[in-house]
Amino acid sequence: MSTHHATTTHPAPPSLAPRLPDVVRPDPVPLVTGRFVEYAQLDHAASTPALESVVRAVATATRTYSSVHRGTGWLSRVTSAHYEAAREEVARFVGARADDVVVFTRATTDATNLLARALPAGTPVVVFAAEHHASLLPWPAERTHRLPVPSSPEEVLGRLESALVALAGGPAPLVVVTGASNVTGELWPVERVARVARRHGARVLLDAAQLVAHRRVDLAALDVDWVAFSGHKLHAPFGTGALVGRRDWLDAADPYLAGGGASAAVTEAVTTWATGAARHEGGSPNVLGAVALAAACAAVRRHRGAIEAHEAHLTTRLLEGLRAVPGVRTHSTFGDDHDRVPVVAFTVEGLDSHLVAAALSAEHGIGVRAGKFCAHPLVDALLARDGDGRHSTAVRASAGLATTGEHVDRLVAAVADLAAHGPRVAYRQDPDAGWVPEDDARVAEVALPW
């Protein structure tokens, strides 16, 4: 954690805009004061806005949309080709090996639950309490070994080593590890975790939901067995994710969704299930979601260098700006200087985190998140560790492709004003909506898009 108050100046970032993929931008948003401002998107860790190229790809595929795999009409052939080409693009994006399988799912949570359903009988699971609930909760409770929130990468490796030694002689364990924390943005030592796991015959699932939009993931180079991630955190908000990796456990498991597509042959007496991805993609698939995910993967892959440079500048600007505000405390698992994607959790002395988030939205047009971010054990541990007993939740600012330097500066200035003076308008707690301005003339009903 940090309470550093040094004044920092920021040199202008290099001109990267022409090399960054274009993001769909919303119309200006209303403030409680009656003004309209450009929306400051600092909630990328929850969901990312679509890329323009993703929207175009979906529009193109919609014009030929038809059934997948089992139709003989021309449009069915085109749609099936789109779907399988999307699978190849996703495989390329995460460095899949030649015999790996790509299963399209709804999101990271769905992908992780699919693998949990495919665990061989008796398989123990080792997971840190620092994980997102999607990686923490799907596993059989009686066979899950939950390790405490660590304070350093060395502690990660030491605790993992001890846990795997204790499990020696039994079935090969599964180790679950995040690539980047959804709370603090910090990178976990995935490659080193994989090496420890290999020494003990364990397999590794990488939760890359918070990583793939920001850093390159390569299954083969990292030597992990599976990777799970979501389109809605990769600028493809069309309801698709993926589980990519080894096929043996998946081919041996019962289908995730029993039905058409998952079955190879059905008689009165016997059902023969398909193998490969089809085994767990029962029913008509989300073709447009798969196209969206593939389009996002292709764009991010092509622009990876520019994206990383853009986000490195935003991360520095965000961290240094918040740490310079008196009364603001940032929270870290591995320490202030640990490498991270542009995600920062912080608290403001004397202010409820949900009130801070509400004021940032209503008074400044800034989107952030407040709470425990579906990572309750981690947030509880960080707040307790940092001696922040007056807070039970935190604020999370998460930047990305839709974030500009002005957005970050606006956030820092707004947080500084809140820390010094509190909200500029009165708020009340609504039982359903949380903190809301007492006097809010903005239109309550949102116009539907259809």
Indicate the pLDDT class of residue 4, thresholds 50, 70 and 90. very low
Active site residue 297: no
* Number of domains the chain contains: 2
Q: What is the DSSP letter of 446?
A: P
Q: Which domain holds residue 128?
A: 53-302
Question: What sign does the dihedral 347-349-354-356 (CA atoms) show?
Answer: negative
Indicate the pLDDT class of residue 240, thresholds 50, 70 and 90. very high
Q: How much is the mean pLDDT over the chain?
A: 94
pLDDT for residue 17: 46
pLDDT for residue 352: 97
Do 278 and 413 have their domain in common?
no
Residue 344 has pLDDT above 90, yes or no: yes
Do 76 and 98 have their domain in common?
yes
pLDDT in tens, 169-225: 999 999 999 999 999 999 999 999 999 999 999 999 999 999 999 999 999 999 999
Q: Are strands 101-105 and 36-37 parallel, antiparallel or unpaired?
A: unpaired
Average pLDDT, integer, range 291-304: 98
Do 154 and 298 have their domain in common?
yes
pLDDT over 70 for what percent of the chain?
Answer: 96
* Domain harbouring 124, CATH code: 3.40.640.10
H helix intervals, 286-364: 287-302, 304-323, 353-364
**DSSP-based three-state secondary structure for 441:** coil
Indicate the pLDDT class of residue 443, thresholds 50, 70 and 90. confident
* Domain harbouring 23, CATH code: 3.90.1150.10
The pTM of the whole model exceeds 0.85? yes
Do 274 and 143 have their domain in common?
yes
The domain boundary residue, chosen from 260, 281, 302: 302
For residue 196, what is the enclosing H or E element? helix 190-199
Do 89 and 177 have their domain in common?
yes
Q: Which of 55, 129, 309, 374 is catalytic?
A: 374
Do 234 and 131 have their domain in common?
yes
Do 215 and 343 have their domain in common?
no
* In a domain? residue 444: no
Average pLDDT, integer, range 36-57: 98
pLDDT for residue 3: 46
Do 96 and 239 have their domain in common?
yes
Residue 9 has pLDDT above 50, yes or no: no
Cβ-contact 319, 329 below 8 angstroms: no
pLDDT for residue 8: 44
Residue 230 has pLDDT above 60, yes or no: yes
The domain boundary residue, chosen from 241, 276, 302: 302
Average pLDDT, integer, range 229-233: 98
Q: Which amino acid is residue 71, in one-letter code?
A: G
Average pLDDT, integer, range 138-163: 98
pLDDT in tens, 381-398: 999 998 767 899 999 999
Taking the C-alpha atoms of residue 41 and residue 408, their distance in angstroms, rounded to an integer, is 9
The domain boundary residue, chosen from 248, 271, 302: 302
* Tokens coding 221: 């180079």
* In a domain? residue 23: yes
Give residue for tokens 């119309």: 27
Do 343 and 386 have their domain in common?
yes
Average pLDDT, integer, range 141-149: 97
pLDDT for residue 388: 67
Do 383 and 290 have their domain in common?
no
Do 335 and 373 have their domain in common?
yes
Taking the C-alpha atoms of residue 431 and residue 1, their distance in angstroms, rounded to an integer, is 32
